[in-house]
Amino acid sequence: MKIWIERQRSLIDFTVAGLLRRKVRNLGLMAVYSCVVFILATVMLFTHSLRKEASVLLSDAPEITVQRVIMGRHALIEHTDLDVVSKIRGARHARGRLWGYFYDTANGANYTLMVPDKVHTIKQGQVQIGAGVARARDLKKGKFLFLTTNRGKLFKLQVSGILSTESELVSSDLVLMSEQDYRNFFRLPSNVYTDLVLNVRNSREVTKIAEKISAVLPDSRVITRDDILRTYESLFSWREGILLALLGGALCSFIIFAWDKTSGLSASERQEIGILKAVGWETSDILTMKLWESVLISLGAFLFAYTLAYLHVFYFSAGLLEPVLKGWAILYPQFHLTPEVDPLQVMTLLFFTVFPYVAATLVPIWRAAIIDPDTVMR
């Protein structure tokens, strides 16, 4: 065992010295490699933390949402339905929600208008707005937000607070107002809601209660939190997968490049391997040394690029990739994701990069290693 370790150490030393002797070539290789890993890692880190963010956010969302559907479209739900739902055994805190979208012709942005939960009530005539809205309208606390209804009526609302930037990913375009203002703004009658939400006393009964609701309100659509979570999960995974598949093309060409680099040994390298074999190195010594070379290059580039991607995503808000992954919006959220490294992800990325690289170099390495020891004498 000791001999084995000492042998590996000597071979690694020799490999490193060899890599340094061919600095330009190897740095070039590592640069290309790092680029590939960097892009892949950015995509994965980014989608992963978005997914994480979404699931954290959803964790305190209500377990069941009930929407009324008319002609296959989401319609307003009536107060009587709320009473029906409240009476179902096991349902807790059934309440109607008011929320909707508003297109602001002033700057072409879409706002989400919403009445907050009973917990944080907002006084009539006041609003709390997301940071994106504040930026777009250049608003500060105490200033006034003017909104024009679709009937041309002007609404004047005082900004009582700006939502914290920590949750900016979801709150960027939010405008929170009181129920009365909301109904007035959209000219809603007082007995309708956008949808109903409720909690369930026993989380194992969510499915059962959802079934009961569909039975008593056949014209409604019942969505459970798990449904949403699943949709998010597969949506993000899908996007990530598509991107990776596209990038796979880049990866392939890189692997061909690696193959080419390794198989096209320079004359001096062939000479060097010949010398090593002539002075008593065995084929497996050369193989081991060259494998170390592959591993050091790929692992080195991997670690370097992964660190870069980490900084890029978590400290520079993934500036290079945002438009692709988040979709386009005028009220573009500026936010910092919570740094998070997932071991599964690191392993996946290793599988995607280091693994094919080393695999692609195996045959060329072997070809180099079987050079006859007497070549240097011919």
Partner 1 sequence: MIVFENVTKTYNEGAENAFNAILNLDLTINSREITVLRGPSGSGKTTLLTLIGGMARPTSGRIHVAEREVTSLPERFLTKMRQDTFGFVFQSFNLIKGLSVLDNVMLPLTPLGRPRNQIRKEAYALLERLHIQSKAHNLVETLSGGEAQRTAIARALINNPPVLIADEPTANLDTGLSYAFMDIIKELKDQGKTVVMTSHDPLVWKSEIVDQVISVRDGKIESNPT
Partner 2 sequence: MIFHPVILALLLGSLISTLMILIGAVFGSQILRQWNLSSGSQKQLNMERRTYLISTFLMFALISELLSLLLYVYNAEQMSVQFVGAMCAVGTLNANIYGFPTLIAKIILFFCAALWLMINHADNQAHDYPLIRWKYGFLIAILPIALSTAGLQLSYFLNLETDVITSCCSKLFTPDGDNVTAEMAGLDEAFALGLFYVCLALFFIIGLRFYLTKHGHRLFALASAVLFIASITAVISVISLYVYEHPHHHCPFCLLKPEYNYIGYAIYLPLFVGTALGTGAGTLASFVQIPSLQETLTGFVQRLTLASLISILIFAGIVSGAIYLSALRLF
Residues 207-266 that bind partner 2 (CB under 8 A): 226, 229-230, 233-234, 237-238, 240-242, 244-245, 248
* 376 lines the binding site for partner 1 (CB under 8 A): yes
* 279 lines the binding site for partner 1 (CB under 8 A): yes
- Looking at the Cβ atoms of 280 and 343, the one nearer to partner 1 is 280
Q: Give the span between the Cα atoms of 351 and 320, in whole angstroms.
A: 24
Q: Give the span between the Cα atoms of 80 and 115, in whole angstroms.
A: 20
* 285 lines the binding site for partner 1 (CB under 8 A): yes
3-class SS letters over 52-99: HHHHHHHHCCCCEEEEEEECCEEECEEHHHHHHHHCCCCEEEEEEECE
CB of 22 to partner 1, least distance (A): 9
Cβ proximity of 39 and 247 under 8 Å: yes
- Looking at the Cβ atoms of 292 and 357, the one nearer to partner 1 is 292
- Looking at the Cβ atoms of 215 and 245, the one nearer to partner 2 is 245
**DSSP code at position 339:** P
Q: Give the span between the Cα atoms of 24 and 268, in whole angstroms.
A: 15
**Residue type for position 251:** L
Residues 17-46 that bind partner 2 (CB under 8 A): 44
CB of 301 to partner 1, least distance (A): 23
Instruction: Tell which one of 16, 21, 324, 334 touches partner 1 (CB under 8 A).
Output: 21
- Looking at the Cβ atoms of 102 and 352, the one nearer to partner 2 is 352
CB of 18 to partner 1, least distance (A): 8
Residues 6+ apart with CB under 8 A from 115: 97, 98, 99, 176, 177, 178, 179, 182
* 11 lines the binding site for partner 1 (CB under 8 A): yes
Q: Which of 42, 31, 22, 15 is nearest to 254 (CA)?
A: 31
Q: Name the packing angle between helices 343-352 and 283-315 (round to 10°).
A: 130
Q: Under the rule (CB under 8 A), what is the footprint of partner 2?
A: 44, 55, 226, 229-230, 233-234, 237-238, 240-242, 244-245, 248, 283-284, 287, 291, 343-345, 347-352, 355-356, 358-359, 362-363, 366, 369-370
